[in-house]
Amino acid sequence: MSSGATSSTAVEGINEAAGKERTDGWIWSFKAQPQMSDKELEEWIDEGDRVQWFRAEAEMQRWQEEWEIKQADFLRCICMFSTMSDVWQALGKDNIKGKAAYAKKKSAMFKAMENEARSKLSKAGHGNLPDLLVPGNRKILADYVEEERLKYVIPELM
C-alpha cells in the first residue's frame, strides 16, 4: 500500500460505504472509573492479562498441533511413495516386456519422489523423523511428538 493507506483506513472506508458506523470494542474504550480503587483497577488489568495469556497459549497449541499434523502427513507421504515403489517393482517382474518396462519406470519415479521427500525433510531439520518408518523401529510417531513437546515446556509455568 504505497499510497499511505492502512488496513484500518481501508476497513473504515468499507464501513462508510456500507453505511455502518465503526465502533471499537468496550475493552479499548475502558478508562479507570473514579469510583475504582487502585486495587480494583490492578485486579481488572490482571484479569485481562490472564485472559490474553490463555488465548495466546491456546493459539500456540493450535499452531503446535498443525505442525505435528504436517510432520505426520510428511511421514505418510514418504511411506506411500516407498510402498508404491515396491508395488510397481513387484509388478515389473512380469515377463511381458512393455508392462515390465512401464512398471520399472513407475517404481523408479516413486523411489525418486521418496528420496526427494526425505531430503527435503532432512533439510528442514527433521532428518531423524523418517527413522520412524524403519521396520522394527519400536518408536512410534506419538513418542516422537511427546519428546518434541517436552523441548518447549517452560518449567516455571508447570
In a domain, 21, yes or no: no
pTM (2 decimals)? 0.60
Domain that holds residue 144: 63-157
pLDDT tens digits, 73-127: 888 898 899 999 999 999 988 888 889 999 999 999 999 999 999 899 889 887 7
As for how many domains the chain has, the answer is 1
Residue 68 domain-assigned? yes
Specify if 88 maps to a domain: yes
For residue 9, the one-letter residue type is T
7 lies in some domain: no
What is the rounded CA–CA span in Å between residue 127 and residue 135?
Answer: 17
Specify if 12 maps to a domain: no
In a domain, 46, yes or no: no
23-43 pLDDT tens trace = 666 665 666 667 878 888 888
Q: How far is CA 51 from CA 2, 61, 115, in A?
A: 36, 15, 46
Residues 123-136 have pLDDT tens digits of: 988 777 777 777 66
